[in-house]
Amino acid sequence: MATNASHLGGPIDDATPTSPAPTASGRRRTGTAGRHNGRVPESDLHPPVLRWYAEHARDLPWRRPEASPWSVMVSELMLQQTPVNRVLPVHEAWMERWPTPADLAASSTGDAVRAWGRLGYPRRALRLHAAAAAITERHDGVVPAEYADLVALPGVGDYTASAIASFAHGRRHVVLDTNVRRVLARAVGGVEFPGASVTRAERDVATGLLPDDEATAATWAVATMELGALVCTAANPRCAACPVADRCAWLAAGRPAYDGPPRKVQAWAGTDRQCRGRLLAVLRDADGSVHRSALEATWPDVAQRERCLASLLDDALVARTGPDTYALP
């Protein structure tokens, strides 16, 4: 079985990378990536962060030595903008039902959407189903280890491909989720939050921080991710418990407040996302087709409800089974 380096999860990821792909070189870059404004060399972050992770890493099923690359891949899709505590029971049920990509590929997309439950962003279930079919057809049912093969799968972008290669196969890749980006922005960049999207300079710093050894690089990736999730959090960071507090540029600067563009805050009440969720819940709980009248009872705003139903049909999350009846695909 391939090496499984543990991980946490990451942001929503589409099929088209929005930032340059990680370098395949086994060498760290020099220059500003090796030292930040004359302060502590960034490689000095490695020992305390790795020691902290060895002591504080959470025991998660996709992190265990016996976890398969498929388990890691499923967790990656599920953890995109979804808390670990919500993912755990769904991941367990999913792996019991579909322990391999071929098992999922043999089921319908409707089964995948139903099993996705209330995790949100149900298109991820369709992406995972499509990726499972591609893995079965192109890779004999085995989740590939190479970045190029992973990023070529349906619904797999740069972050997800890098994360699977690193966490499931122990490969050396830059893995930049929101937690890692925040840790590096504070410890190295001296700012409270990173920008809205990954920049080349940000990726260069992250690449320069990667240990040369593949296994250590994979552990470093998950360790910084875990540090951001548990200590260097977006709100109320626990700097007193941070293993690199004595060399953090942001802390040394007095924790200056973020002064960039307004950060997006996700709304829920009254949004199309909530409306789509209500409609899907009715179909997910039904044994067969559902009459339009049952959907109409879920949302009072007619125009919004019809718009959301049309979008669910366009996304192939819902199928029309008759003039006025609908079901999961």
What pLDDT digit, counting tens, does each position of 57-112 carry? 999 999 999 999 999 999 999 999 899 999 999 999 999 999 999 999 999 999 99
Residues 144 and 288 in one domain: no
Collect all residues with Cβ–Cβ distance below 8 Å to 266 and sequence separation of at least 6. none
Total domains present in the chain: 2
Domain end position, chosen among 265, 288, 304? 265
Please report, for the domain that includes residue 289, its CATH number. 1.10.10
Residues 228 and 283 in one domain: no
DSSP for 119-145?
SS-THHHHHHHHHHHHHHHHSTT----
Looking at every residue in the chain, the average pLDDT score rounds to 87
Whole-number pLDDT of residue 42: 56
Taking alpha carbons only, the member of 48, 52, 45, 91 closest to residue 72 is 91
Residues 301 and 187 in one domain: no
Higher pLDDT, residue 262 or 226: 226
Could you list the residue range(s) of the whole structural domain that residue 4 is in? 1-265
How confident is the model over 30-57, as a mean pLDDT?
A: 69
Give tens-digit pLDDT for 143-179: 999 999 999 999 999 999 999 999 999 999 999 999 9
Q: For residue 53, with 0-12 CB atoms within 10 Å meaning exposed, 13-18 middle and 19 or more buried, which class applies?
A: buried
Whole-number pLDDT of residue 259: 82
Residues 192 and 311 in one domain: no
The catalytic residue among 42, 66, 76, 296 is: 76
Say if residue 34's pLDDT is above 50. no
Say if residue 37's pLDDT is above 60. no
pTM tops 0.95, yes or no: no
Residues 126 and 231 in one domain: yes
Domain end position, chosen among 239, 265, 291? 265
To the query of whether residue 96 is one of the catalytic residues in this protein, the response is no
Please report, for the domain that includes residue 127, its CATH number. 1.10.340.30
Whole-number pLDDT of residue 43: 65
Residues 135 and 219 in one domain: yes
